[in-house]
Amino acid sequence: MAENKNTNNEKKQIILSLLDEQKATKFRELFLNLHVYEQAQIFTSLDEKQRARVYRYLDPAELGDTFDAIEEDPESIVAYFKEMSPNYAAKVITQMYTDNAVDVLAFADKKDLPKYLRLMSREKADEIKEMLHYEDKTAGAIMATEYVKIVGNQTARSAMHVLKREAEEAETIYYTYVVDDDDRLVGVVTLRELLISGDDMLIQEIMNDQVMSVKVDEDQEDVAKTIRDYNFLAIPVTDYDDKMIGIITVDDIIDVIDEESAEDYSGLAGVDIEESPDNPIKAAAKRLPWLITLLFLGMSTATLVSHYEHLVSEASILAVFISSITGTAGNAGTQSLAVAVRHLAYKGDDDKSLFRTIIAEIFTGLVIGTITGVTIMVIVGFWKNNFVLGFVIGLAMMCAIVVANLAGSLIPILMDKIGVDPAVASGPFISTLSDLTSVLIYFNIAKLFLSFIIGN
């Protein structure tokens, strides 16, 4: 692994030297022999002067493959297009897979987008314009329109001719889709089935007519679950009339899973984990709304504590354990939240399954709360030589943990039911909410046993 990394670094240094020395022929020979992933990694490390030379040394078709592999945010890729002449940029975009091009052009300036589209072929421009209208994070927004389709009354020999002719442009050739005269999806044939079938066999005899598809407006996360569950390499996308209009491949789904995971983690942390570290003002602007909201929620906890000020004045020892109870309950609630969000992401929203999750978290809270409560009761009992106080602290902690576990599992499920991303029920929010409920539980239990605490 280390040897491969060193070899890649050596290649990169040689390529950079060739660019600086303006040795175009040697640069092309070495750069174009690299895997497109390596090309993309090198390209994104170049400065503007070096990139300008790349635009001179490579034609748009060669650079289009590289741009398909660039993993930077779309705004950065749009900025590369602005460095090129409009005609060169349009040709690069034309060479990209349509779904990748659409992802990037969604962030292009309104004055630049029409210019790029005008310089493309009408067919490519129409495909991009149509896909730009699909709602973000849906099947239509991530699908590719480069796929191979045939009809049922073709022979396997004829289908292979079509496949060979369109293979270079297709996103994948493992699946060939069968449509009727109205472009409605009726079946699918794998490359293996085509290869092992007799040349004169009709496609309708060898195709699988139980083909699964997704609607153009289906959520990308649901598409990802379908591809994961059935181990598909690709899945067809149909419009509202069941006409086939595109495919979604597994590499697009990997990007979706990465994106959804990042969003879920961002929600749990209450922060955008992909924010740029180079812009503190922008980062602060994104974080402040959550923090201010949580500040007001935290103030309600402080108000609640002040409401029980008379209780604390009579038994000041109660104040010592507030942070222990609220902190432990908050941690338990965050754990429960993570389990619930994970369950929603991977198990779906089956009511029975969700009910089992809630019941399981309640019992988990009871077990954790009982063990934690007994532990703290013994510790406080011996430490303060007051087992009544220990019992109060232990009971309060157990109840607070059970309530926090219930909140951590129930809140994201309820949010999912009303159509809100459950990851929005972030860890900081659950922790702050747990503080509020824990204080309420703690002081009400303490009030019942106050005379025994003071007496001891």
Delimit the domains of the chain by residue range. 2-137, 149-249, 280-455
* Closest to 175 in 3D by CA, of 225, 251, 235: 235
Homologous superfamily of domain range 149-249: CBS-domain (3.10.580.10)
Q: What span, in angstroms and rounded, lies between the C-alpha atoms of 412 and 414? A: 5
* Closest to 92 in 3D by CA, of 82, 22, 131: 82
346 burial level (CB within 10 Å; 0-12, 13-18, 19+):
exposed
pLDDT at residue 1, rounded to an integer: 46
H or E segment at 401? helix 387-417
CATH topology of domain 280-455: Tetracycline Repressor; domain 2 (1.10.357)
| Cβ pair 409, 337 in contact under 8 A | yes
H or E segment at 177? strand 175-179
Residues with Cβ within 8 Å of 206's Cβ and at least 6 positions away in sequence, in order, are: 156, 189, 193, 194, 197
| Cβ pair 69, 40 in contact under 8 A | yes
Q: What is the pTM of this model?
A: 0.61
Rg of the chain over Cα atoms, rounded to whole angstroms, equals 30
pLDDT at residue 84, rounded to an integer: 95
Block mean pLDDT (10 aa), the chain, length 456: 59 89 92 92 92 94 92 90 94 91 89 92 89 88 91 94 91 93 94 93 94 92 88 93 92 80 57 55 69 75 82 85 88 82 64 76 90 93 89 93 88 75 64 86 90 70
pLDDT at residue 429, rounded to an integer: 74
Q: What span, in angstroms and rounded, lies between the C-alpha atoms of 155 and 134? A: 36
The domain defined by 2-137 carries CATH number 1.25.60.10: yes
Q: What span, in angstroms and rounded, lies between the C-alpha atoms of 262 and 351? A: 26
Q: What span, in angstroms and rounded, lies between the C-alpha atoms of 302 and 291? A: 16
* Closest to 60 in 3D by CA, of 108, 20, 120: 120
* Closest to 125 in 3D by CA, of 101, 151, 109, 103: 101
pLDDT at residue 266, rounded to an integer: 56
Q: What span, in angstroms and rounded, lies between the C-alpha atoms of 373 and 401? A: 9
Question: CA-CA distances (angstroms) from residue 248 to 46, 165, 415?
Answer: 31, 21, 28
pLDDT at residue 2, rounded to an integer: 46
| Cβ pair 184, 244 in contact under 8 A | yes
